[in-house]
Structure 1
């Protein structure tokens, strides 16, 4: 058994290292966590959500980012890569590299067996500390199920579950709608 403590990195050391990597890694409390690959269904659902929202955001003051935009949760020090993030008004970034968003209004995670518990629990606990975050979606990748969390007050969140392909989700933070039928195109038959 290895009794040597793991070296703890500072956020600055992590960012310097991460910006040189070919793959993505999350960071929290001095530790780095490798991101794993995604399934076909995961990629299709992410692509469908991004395409649907991107089309609705044309000409609006919001920016939509795919899973390569790092997000910093300033209050907890976590660096993460949500599947989709959006910022409205003026996107804010941690530094001049403009690769770490600090004020997302919307974040979307597509659930997988390996990440579902984390995305619902510890990760959402971090996300809830972001004052800018208004909408959080958890999307199942192999069944028609979306959980939509909306910030109602500074510390209160309302969850609505959608299970029909005909359901439409209103994302007030970015003034867009998501039809589940569009999310699950080519995934559910």
Structure 2
């Protein structure tokens, strides 16, 4: 499915528009992250999404606009095809505005990404999340991802020090 092709949506999502990310989207996406995540310790989570993702991976990243909302941002997916492993793609960051959750919007974003990456020759998609982000872990499992790790962190299989000392991550992979 082409990223610019309209996707059939449920009634609450029918006014939303899917499009490619641009550099101009960076500021409003990072501004949304603290409110949308709302988890303790995630106040600086936006630092994991520097402008370079919008400069260099715009052609594989999606913005969902809501023309009826203040600020207009409904959701986003920032992902890319691996340069080192051309059969793999990586979903780096995904967000759905809290009032739009539960309507399948994240699933639509993921499925569109899977379709695009499969068409480009990828055979798997990877993603990571923190051990404390149970909502993300549940979503990834529901989407068919398998978690990996080398130890248990807070009752969850995770990779200890994945992103540096004390920065443990749950790694997911899914064949496409």
Q: Which has the higher strand share?
A: 1
Does the TM-score normalized on the shorter chain lie above 0.5?
no
Task: Look at both structures and tell me which one has the larger radius of gyration over its CA atoms.
Answer: 1
TM-score by length of 2: 0.37
Q: Which has the higher helix share?
A: 2
TM-score by length of 1: 0.36
